[in-house]
Amino acid sequence: MSIIEIAFLGIDIGLVLWVIHLKMEIRKISKKMHPPVPVVPASGFTERDLHALRTSLAELVEDVEQYTELQLQKMRAQTQVLHSLCERMENKLHTVEEPAPEPPSEKNSARVVPLSAHPGFTHHSQKDKIIELYKKGWPCEKIAEALRITKSEVQLIVNLS
């Protein structure tokens, strides 16, 4: 036997061992993904078996690459959405305005009336009208609403008269 034949025999043995190792790894992956596939014994490998093995490995690698690319695309899309949300939040934080003053509620509405130098409301511009309506039986709320003044003003005028 020549040195070249011994080298080829060593290469053949190495390839057979490598194929056996690949088959075991494929079997592990197949069990996880698919039902078990019948395995051809190592001594019965033909060129057709090696070709089928190479083809199935290539398909497996292609599937893994496609899945990985799809997941990366999803992550990129999510990252872009998060980035735009962060920018919008930053813009809102930088443009925070002071809250607008709340309009007075109808229950607690108070009208500011400048006080005269004279004590009390004896010179109220609508004093006579308030007393007249009160004597007719109008409630203070209705008088205040009709004359567009506060209920407190009406009550004060009624109490002082």
**Higher confidence at residue 105 or residue 12?**
12
In-domain check, residue 108: no
Q: CB of 151 within 8 A of CB of 140?
A: yes
DSSP string, 88-105: HHHHHHHTPPPPPPPPPP
pLDDT digits (tens, 9 = 90+) for 93-148: 777 655 545 554 555 555 555 544 444 445 667 888 999 999 999 999 999 999 98
Q: Containing domain of residue 135, as a range? A: 127-160
**How many domains does the chain divide into?**
3
Both 58 and 71 in one domain: the answer is yes
pLDDT digits (tens, 9 = 90+) for 13-54: 887 888 888 888 887 877 777 554 455 555 577 888 888 888
In-domain check, residue 77: yes
CB-count exposure of residue 19 (10 Å: 0-12, 13-18, 19+): middle
Both 34 and 16 in one domain: the answer is yes
pTM, entire model: 0.31
Tokens of 87: 């920018």
The conformation of residue 111, written as its DSSP 8-state character, comes to: -
- Residues 143, 155: Cα–Cα separation, whole Å: 10
Interior angle at CA 60, CA 55 and CA 63, nearest 5: 125
